C-alpha cells in the first residue's frame, strides 16, 4: 500500500506539471518574441550612441560601423559575466503575485511596454534607456499588487529594500551619470584646446598625447573588466584591482611609445612633404598662369575691345535664357528658388551678415552632407514606383545621406575648427568608441533579455515561486539568450538606427574627432565610476551629458538647447509612460475572469 500511494502521488504530480506546462506554454513563446523585439528596438535607439561621433566626424561609414557593431555586441552580450538580474528586478520577483502564471505574464507585460516605448522614442529621435523603461514597467506591475502606498515619494520605509530612497530620490539618482559625464567632457576638451589644438606645433604635441590617451583607455577598460569579474566570478581584493589597473595603464602608455609614435612620426613627415610639394606646384602653376595672361594681354591689345563686346553679348543672351527658365520653374514646381532666397534673407537677418547656404555646407566635417535637388514630377507605373522605392530604401539603408537643417549648419560654421590636426585624433577616437560599445553591450544590451530569463525560470521551476519568494535565488540568464539579444540589437541598429545616429552625431553640437574623443572617454569614465557606487546609470544618458559638456567647452551657443530639453522630456516620459502603460495592462489582466491551474 505505501508503494501504491507513492505511485499515485508521483502520477498526480506529473499530471499537475503537465497541465501547468500545457496551459502556460504560450507565455514563454510570446515572451521570446517580445524579448527579441525589445532587443531590436533597443539597438535602434541605443547603439547609435557609440558610433554617432565617428559617423558625424566622417571617421566611419554606416557600413563599417554596422560591421563593428556585429563584431562587438554579439560576443560582448553573450560573454558578459554580469548575467544575474539586478536588485530591483530580483526584489520584484520575490513579491507575492496572484499566481505563478500572472508572474510570468507580468514579465511579458514589461517587455511589451518597454518595446512600445522604445519604438515611439526612436521615431521621435529620443535617446532613452531600456533599463529605465524596464524598471518603470516593473514598478507599474508592482503597484497593481501592492498599491500606491507601497513605495514612498522620498524616504525609505520598511516595505522595500531599494538601493536609494523613494521615487523622487531614485529619479534623482539617474541624473548623476549625465552630470558627471558633462563635467568630465567639458574639462577634457578644454585641456585639449589649451595644450594641443590651439598651438602651432600641435603635431609635435599630439605625439606626447598618444601615450597618455592609450594608457587612460587601457586603464579604464581594465577597471571595467575587473569590476565585471569582481563579485560575480571571484573575489578580487582592492589592492589587486589597483595593481591591475596601474599595470594596464603602464602597458597602454608604453606600447604606443614603441609602436604608434614612430609610425605617427613617419606619417606626419610624409604628410608634410606632400603638402609642401602640393603648395609648390600650386605656386608654380599660378606663376605660369600670370605669365600667360600677361603675354596674351600684350599681344592682343588691339582686338581686346571686340572680344569683350562679344563676351558681354553672349553673357546677356545666356542671362535672358536663365531668366526665362527661372520663370518657368517658378510656375511649374512651386518656386524652390524663391524659397531658397527667402531662407537666405532670413539667415542674413538672423546672423547680421550675408552668408550663403553652400558656404555653410562646406563647414561640416562629413562629406556625406548633400543638398536636396528638385526633380520634375512624372507619372510612373506601379512597377516602376515599387522599383524606385526598393532602390531608394536600399540606398538610404546602406549609404544614407546626412541632412542638417539651416540652424544646425550655422552652429557648425560658428564652431572653432582644427582641420590640420583632426585626422590625428581618428584612431584614438575609434578606440574610445569601441570601448564604449563593449561596455554598453555588457551592461545594458545583455540585461535586456533578463525578463525573458525570469519567464523561462518560472516556467521550468514553478514550485520555487509558489511560496512567499523565500526559495528564489538570483536568476542567471543563459548566454544563448544574451547572444540573441545582441544580434537583435545589431539588426535594429543596421535597419533603423540612422536617424538617431544623425541626431547625436551633429544636431546637438558640432562634432569632430577631437570632440568625439573627449565625449567618448568621458562617457566611459562616467559609466564605470558611477556603476561602482551601485547607482543606476545609463550609457545613453551619460553620452548625451558628455556631448553637452563638449559643446559648452567650445561655445555655449553651439549647443542645441531645445533638442536637449526634448531629450530630458523623453527621459521623464520614459518613467511615466512605461509605468502607466504597464499598470493599465497588468491591472486589466489581473481583474479579468480566469481559472486557476492545479
Express each pLDDT in 435-492 by its tens digit.
999 999 888 887 788 888 888 888 887 777 665 555 666 667 788 888 899 999 999 9
Q: What is the dihedral of CA 524, 520, 194, 203, to 10 degrees?
A: 120
Q: In terms of C-beta density within 10 A (0-12 exposed, 13-18 middle, 19 or more buried), how is residue 562 classed?
A: exposed
The cell numbers describing 47, all together, are 547603439
Task: Give pLDDT, residue 12.
Answer: 39
- For the chain, report the end-to-end CA distance as a whole number of angstroms: 25
Cβ(470)–Cβ(86) under 8 Å? Answer: no
Position 19 confidence tier, pLDDT thresholds 50, 70, 90: confident
What's the mean pLDDT in 44-61? 89
What's the mean pLDDT in 391-401? 66
What's the mean pLDDT in 289-293? 60
Task: Give pLDDT, residue 84.
Answer: 47
Position 73 confidence tier, pLDDT thresholds 50, 70, 90: very high
Cβ(169)–Cβ(154) under 8 Å? Answer: yes
Position 357 confidence tier, pLDDT thresholds 50, 70, 90: very low
Task: Give pLDDT, residue 437.
Answer: 93
Share of the chain above pLDDT 90, in %: 25
Cβ(88)–Cβ(102) under 8 Å? Answer: no
Position 225 confidence tier, pLDDT thresholds 50, 70, 90: confident
Supply φ then ψ for residue 82, to 5 degrees.
Answer: -85, 70
| CA within 13 Å, CB half, 585 | 23
- Give the span between the Cα atoms of 227 and 241, in whole angstroms: 9
Position 145 confidence tier, pLDDT thresholds 50, 70, 90: confident
Cβ(238)–Cβ(203) under 8 Å? Answer: no
What's the mean pLDDT in 371-398? 67
CA-based angle 144:148:150, to the nearest 5? 95
CA-based angle 101:110:173, to the nearest 5? 130
Report the predicted TM-score, pTM, of the whole model to 2 decimal places.
0.77
The cell numbers describing 101, all together, are 502564471
What's the mean pLDDT in 384-391? 76
What's the mean pLDDT in 202-223? 86
Q: What is the dihedral of CA 305, 306, 307, 312, to 10 degrees?
A: 90
- Give the span between the Cα atoms of 40 and 115, in whole angstroms: 9
Cβ(425)–Cβ(513) under 8 Å? Answer: yes
Q: Which of 162, 38, 9, 154 is nearest to 451 (CA)?
A: 38
Q: What is the dihedral of CA 521, 526, 532, 534, to 10 degrees?
A: -150
Q: What is the DSSP letter of 162?
A: -
- Give the span between the Cα atoms of 507 and 124, in whole angstroms: 14
| Radius of gyration for the chain, computed over Cα atoms and rounded to the nearest angstrom | 31
Position 50 confidence tier, pLDDT thresholds 50, 70, 90: very high
- Give the span between the Cα atoms of 175 and 183, in whole angstroms: 13
Render pLDDT for 496-527 as a digit per residue (tens, 0 to 9).
888 899 889 888 999 999 999 999 999 999 99
Position 130 confidence tier, pLDDT thresholds 50, 70, 90: very high
Please, what is the average pLDDT of the chain? 76
More confident residue, 71 or 277: 71
Strand, helix or coil at 418? coil
Cα–chain-centroid distance for residue 433?
11
Q: Which of 86, 49, 34 is nearest to 446 (CA)?
A: 86
Render pLDDT for 296-338 as a digit per residue (tens, 0 to 9).
555 555 454 555 566 556 655 555 445 544 554 454 444 444 4
- Give the span between the Cα atoms of 297 and 541, in whole angstroms: 66
Render pLDDT for 412-443 as a digit per residue (tens, 0 to 9).
888 888 877 888 888 899 999 999 999 998 88
Cβ(43)–Cβ(490) under 8 Å? Answer: yes
Position 408 confidence tier, pLDDT thresholds 50, 70, 90: confident
What's the mean pLDDT in 103-121? 92
Task: Give pLDDT, residue 201.
Answer: 82
Total length of the chain:
598
Share of the chain above pLDDT 70, in %: 65
Q: Which of 493, 484, 418, 574 is nearest to 33 (CA)?
A: 484
Tell whether the model's pLDDT for residue 140 goes beyond 90: no
Amino acid at each position: 500500500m505505501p508503494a501504491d500511494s507513492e505511485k499515485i502521488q508521483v502520477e498526480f504530480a506529473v499530471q499537475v506539471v503537465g497541465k501547468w506546462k500545457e496551459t502556460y506554454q504560450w507565455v514563454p513563446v510570446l515572451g521570446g518574441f517580445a524579448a527579441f523585439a525589445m532587443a531590436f528596438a533597443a539597438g535602434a535607439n541605443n547603439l547609435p550612441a557609440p558610433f554617432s561621433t565617428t559617423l558625424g566626424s566622417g571617421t566611419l561609414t554606416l557600413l563599417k560601423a554596422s560591421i563593428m557593431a556585429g563584431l562587438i555586441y554579439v560576443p560582448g552580450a553573450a560573454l558578459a559575466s554580469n548575467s544575474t538580474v539586478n536588485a530591483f528586478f530580483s526584489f520584484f520577483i520575490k513579491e507575492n503575485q496572484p499566481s505563478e502564471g500572472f508572474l510570468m505574464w507580468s514579465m511579458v507585460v514589461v517587455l511589451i511596454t518597454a518595446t512600445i516605448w522604445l519604438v515611439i522614442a526612436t521615431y521621435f529621435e529620443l535617446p532613452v534607456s531600456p533599463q529605465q523603461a524596464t524598471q518603470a514597467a516593473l514598478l507599474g506591475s508592482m503597484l497593481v499588487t501592492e498599491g500606491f502606498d507601497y513605495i514612498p515619494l522620498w524616504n525609505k520605509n520598511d516595505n522595500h529594500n531599494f538601493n536609494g530612497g523613494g521615487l523622487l530620490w531614485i529619479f534623482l539618482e539617474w541624473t548623476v551619470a549625465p552630470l558627471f559625464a558633462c563635467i568630465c567632457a567639458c574639462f577634457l576638451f578644454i585641456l585639449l584646446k589649451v595644450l594641443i589644438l590651439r598651438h602651432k606645433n600641435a603635431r609635435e604635441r599630439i605625439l606626447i598625447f598618444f601615450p597618455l590617451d592609450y594608457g587612460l583607455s587601457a586603464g579604464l577598460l581594465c577597471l571595467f573588466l575587473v569590476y565585471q569579474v569582481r563579485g560575480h566570478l571571484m573575489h578580487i581584493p582592492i589592492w589587486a584591482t589597483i595593481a591591475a589597473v596601474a599595470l594596464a595603464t603602464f602597458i597602454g602608455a608604453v606600447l604606443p611609445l614603441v609602436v604608434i609614435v614612430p609610425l605617427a612620426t613617419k606619417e606626419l613627415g610624409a604628410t608634410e612633404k606632400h603638402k609642401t610639394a602640393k603648395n609648390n606646384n600650386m605656386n608654380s602653376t599660378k606663376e605660369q598662369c600670370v605669365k600667360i595672361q600677361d603675354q596674351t594681354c600684350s599681344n592682343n591689345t588691339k582686338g581686346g575691345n571686340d572680344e569683350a563686346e562679344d563676351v558681354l553679348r553672349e553673357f546677356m543672351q545666356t542671362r535672358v535664357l536663365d531668366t526665362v527658365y527661372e520663370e518657368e520653374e517658378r510656375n511649374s514646381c512651386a518656386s524652390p528658388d524663391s524659397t531658397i532666397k527667402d531662407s537666405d534673407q532670413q539667415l542674413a537677418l538672423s546672423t547680421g551678415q550675408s552668408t550663403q547656404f553652400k558656404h555653410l555646407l562646406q563647414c561640416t566635417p562629413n562629406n556625406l552632407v548633400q543638398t536636396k535637388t528638385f526633380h520634375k514630377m512624372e507619372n510612373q507605373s506601379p512597377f516602376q514606383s515599387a522599383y524606385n522605392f526598393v532602390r531608394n530604401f536600399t540606398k538610404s539603408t546602406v549609404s544614407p545621406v546626412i541632412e542638417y537643417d539651416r540652424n544646425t549648419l550655422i552652429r557648425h560654421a560658428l564652431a572653432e575648427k582644427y582641420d590640420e590636426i583632426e585626422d590625428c585624433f581618428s584612431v584614438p577616437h575609434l578606440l574610445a568608441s569601441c570601448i564604449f560599445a563593449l561596455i554598453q553591450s555588457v551592461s545594458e544590451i545583455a540585461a535586456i533579455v533578463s525578463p525573458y530569463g525570469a519567464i523561462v525560470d518560472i516556467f521550468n521551476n514553478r514550485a520555487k515561486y509558489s511560496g512567499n519568494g523565500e526559495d528564489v535565488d538570483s536568476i542567471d540568464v543563459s548566454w544563448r539568450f544574451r547572444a540573441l539579444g545582441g544580434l537583435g540589437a545589431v539588426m535594429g541598429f543596421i535597419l533603423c538606427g540612422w536617424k538617431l545616429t544623425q541626431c547625436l552625431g551633429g544636431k546637438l553640437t558640432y562634432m569632430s574627432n577631437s570632440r568625439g574623443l573627449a565625449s567618448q572617454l568621458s562617457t566611459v569614465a562616467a559609466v564605470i565610476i558611477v556603476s561602482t557606487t551601485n547607482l543606476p546609470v545609463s550609457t545613453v544618458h551619460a553620452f548625451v551629458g558628455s556631448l553637452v559638456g563638449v559643446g559648452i567647452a567650445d561655445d555655449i551657443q553651439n549647443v542645441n538647447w531645445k533638442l536637449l530639453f526634448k531629450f530630458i522630456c523623453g527621459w521623464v516620459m520614459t518613467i511615466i509612460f512605461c509605468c502607466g502603460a504597464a499598470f493599465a495592462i497588468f491591472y486589466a489582466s489581473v481583474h479579468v475572469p480566469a481559472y486557476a491551474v492545479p
